[in-house]
Amino acid sequence: MADLGYTKHEHDVIVIGAGGAGLRAAIEASAQGASVGLVCKSLLGKAHTVMAEGGMAAAMANVDDRDSWKVHFADTMRGGQYLNNWRMAELHAQEAPERVRELEAWGAVFDRTKDGRILQRNFGGHRYPRLAHVGDRTGLEMIRTLQDHGIHQGINVYMEHTAIALLQDGTPGDPKARVVGCFGYDRELGRFRVFQAKAIVLATGGIGKAYKITSNSWEYTGDGHALAYNAGADLMDMEFVQFHPTGMVWPPSVRGILVTEGVRGEGGVLKNSEGKRFMFDDIPDNYKNQTAKDPEEGWRYCLGDKSASRPPELLTRDHVARCINREVKAGRGSPHGGVYLDIAWIQGRKTADGKTIDAEYIKKKLPSMYHQFHTLAGLDITKEPMEVGPTTHYVMGGVKVDGDTQMSTVPGLFAAGEVAAGLHGANRLGGNSLSDLIVFGMRAGDAAAKFAKENGAPRLDEAQIQNAARAALEPIERQERGVRENAYNIQYDLQDMMQTYAGIVRNEADLTTAKQKLEGLKARAAQVAVPGNREYNPGWHTALDLQNLLTVSEALVMSGLDRKESRGGHFREDFPAKDEANFGKHNTVIRRDPRGGGGGGAMQMERQPLKPLRDDLKQVVEENK
């Protein structure tokens, strides 16, 4: 068989993904003296991190001096329903303030308190104002800052390149076989690239494009999850998908686009078609002592009154999303299948310093939201309520990693950010994602650089490279055999199926149907034919991404079927309560059976017991209930 050519690049550390986690990992690895290559699917600066708008959670106590890392830790564990990797939750709470100050030192421009400190806002699930922010454009400021800093660190950036297979020193898919590089292609001309490395950091984000309605951008096709899985790494908590309660629902062309939680943090309220603030009707027992008793107390909380408790609109995202879904199903939704989010109502009220709130105040606090609705929906949020509904936003599940180093269960393979599991447990608190990126991006980059120094030069297997190249070309070559399956049609059918049978509300029958339909979709995907050649061919890109989407969808459905309870982002209407005895003491782990040959075995699932919480951290949790 003819040799398929490629260009080889050699580095100590390869980082796949150039969002917040990838950039921070690359910066840290370079600072440790490693030669670093940064592979990004899109253009540098265009990562999905820019869509994280509300802020980054860090217990800096700039607005409320009662905050501390201990309270942040307890909030994160409670939000994750205690399935979190507690070591990651501890490190995150302790190190987030320093990482935020580091961004400031590198040039990030944050909103300020009157005395010049970084301003922090309220967000769902956080007891105190904790989110350092830049209006409602915080993710964009993070990316700009990391990019501007990173380009001066000697990092080689490979823009518009996609990694499609990890290369290993040993049998592909063997969890004991060290990762020694990755195989990919440039998206413009379709030319193959081999990246040889002593360590690889995955920072590829989430899986949102497995669903029909999502806030995620086109890059989020589960690439890192699938790369790790195919290399033999464990995936964990894949049943836990976060449906953000507030995405746009109208017009159809923008359905799913995120509406930041910052709107509710600034005082926005949720109402049904009858004009009722329905969130007061359903407050979980474990949050009742921290939730406002009436609307006036909720408003005082938004103004910074330390004696007030949070409004119910700022409960955890999983709960708020289900409440919205319930109102819509009961016939109390808005005309286009959502509910109303109203920030205009605060006009005429007084701020904490006695100033009267007007339209300009709202525009200053929420500039992106004002522009987004004005441009895309022809709606002025200072005058009218927004129509919002749940949208697939984040996956808590991902690559199982060591809490301190972020190394996966495969030697030399690290993961950080959304692609890594553990920190968030069953449900992520808003704002914890951006601080997650910089805390664990830094840790992954540091550990990857140290691993590269301590381990010798990798050995590449030419057969693995050639096999990966042939597999990548199969969709193009099938057109010559008259095969007619279309990648776009299969992706659409997958998204529609996942939305219908594995969405915000699940049950045994629906998940079983999803499992059956996935088998049919996998059979169709094996027959995808792409017209044209490798150059400028988005159909080919979609065909390659499709395999990743099918992998993560199967892992999600398998995990969801096994967890016969409702917890965090996983809600089973046939098991609506939490079951601590049977499901509160383990994580669900997915891995590929290495006995299938070449890593090609069937998907397997295991219930992995939780590591007992340290006694001092147990006390922290108890003190902050």
pLDDT tens track for 176-190: 999 999 999 999 999
Q: Compute the distance between CA of residue 369 and CA of residue 363 in angstroms, rounded to an integer.
A: 8
Residue 137 annotated in active site: no
**Of residues 78, 193, 255, 264, which has the active-site annotation?**
264
**Of residues 78, 127, 130, 244, which has the active-site annotation?**
244
Q: Compute the distance between CA of residue 340 and CA of residue 274 in angstroms, rounded to an integer.
A: 10
pLDDT tens track for 252-303: 888 999 898 889 989 999 999 999 999 999 999 888 998 999 999 999 999 9
Residues in the chain: 625
pLDDT at 600 over 70: no
Residue % of the chain over a pLDDT of 70: 99
Residue % of the chain over a pLDDT of 90: 87
With bands split at pLDDT 50, 70 and 90, how would you rate the model's confidence at 481? confident
Tokens linked to 334: 């808005």
DSSP E strands in 239-292: the ranges are 241-248, 269-271
Rounded to 5 degrees, φ, ψ at 608 are: -105, 120
- Cβ atoms of residues 425 and 81 within 8 Å: yes
What's CA 176's distance to the chain center, in Å?
A: 28
The pLDDT of residue 2 is: 55
pLDDT tens track for 196-229: 999 999 999 999 999 999 999 899 999 999 999 9
Overall average pLDDT of the 296-312 stretch: 92
SS3 267: coil
With bands split at pLDDT 50, 70 and 90, how would you rate the model's confidence at 621? very high
The pLDDT of residue 601 is: 81
Q: What is the DSSP letter of 345?
A: G
Residue 611: other Cβ atoms inside 10 A: 11
pLDDT tens track for 406-459: 999 999 999 999 999 999 999 999 999 999 999 999 999 999 999 999 998 888
The pLDDT of residue 563 is: 98
The pLDDT of residue 253 is: 86
Q: Compute the distance between CA of residue 120 and CA of residue 431 in angstroms, rounded to an integer.
A: 11
Domains of the chain as residue ranges with CATH: 7-17+35-55+71-104+135-242+392-454 (3.50.50.60), 247-391 (3.90.700.10), 469-595 (1.20.58.100)
SS3 36: strand
Tokens linked to 31: 């600072």
Q: Compute the distance between CA of residue 492 and CA of residue 481 in angstroms, rounded to an integer.
A: 24
CB burial of 307-325 (b: ≥16 within 10 Å; e: otherwise) equals: ebbbbbbbbbbbbbbbbbb
Radius of gyration for the chain, computed over Cα atoms and rounded to the nearest angstrom: 23
pLDDT at 1 over 50: no
With bands split at pLDDT 50, 70 and 90, how would you rate the model's confidence at 546? very high
The pLDDT of residue 596 is: 64
- Cβ atoms of residues 83 and 425 within 8 Å: yes
The pLDDT of residue 597 is: 52
pLDDT tens track for 53-104: 889 999 999 999 999 999 999 999 999 999 999 999 999 999 999 999 999 9
Q: Compute the distance between CA of residue 285 and CA of residue 501 in angstroms, rounded to an integer.
A: 29
Rounded to 5 degrees, φ, ψ at 474 are: -55, -45
- Cβ atoms of residues 51 and 19 within 8 Å: no
Overall average pLDDT of the 507-516 stretch: 98
Q: Compute the distance between CA of residue 308 and CA of residue 122 in angstroms, rounded to an integer.
A: 12
Overall average pLDDT of the 372-377 stretch: 94
The pLDDT of residue 486 is: 94
Residue 264 annotated in active site: yes
For residue 378, give the amino acid letter. Answer: G
Strand partners, 194: 8, 183
How buried is 64 (Cβ within 10 angstroms: 0-12 exposed, 13-18 middle, 19+ buried)? middle
Q: Compute the distance between CA of residue 312 and CA of residue 158 in angstroms, rounded to an integer.
A: 45
Largest Cα–Cα separation, the chain:
78
**Closest residue by Cα to residue 134 from 110, 118, 114:** 110
Residue 1: other Cβ atoms inside 10 A: 5
pLDDT at 483 over 80: no
Overall average pLDDT of the 555-576 stretch: 96
The pLDDT of residue 403 is: 97
Q: What is the DSSP letter of 337?
A: S
Average pLDDT of the chain is 94
Tokens linked to 299: 């408003």
- Cβ atoms of residues 51 and 244 within 8 Å: no
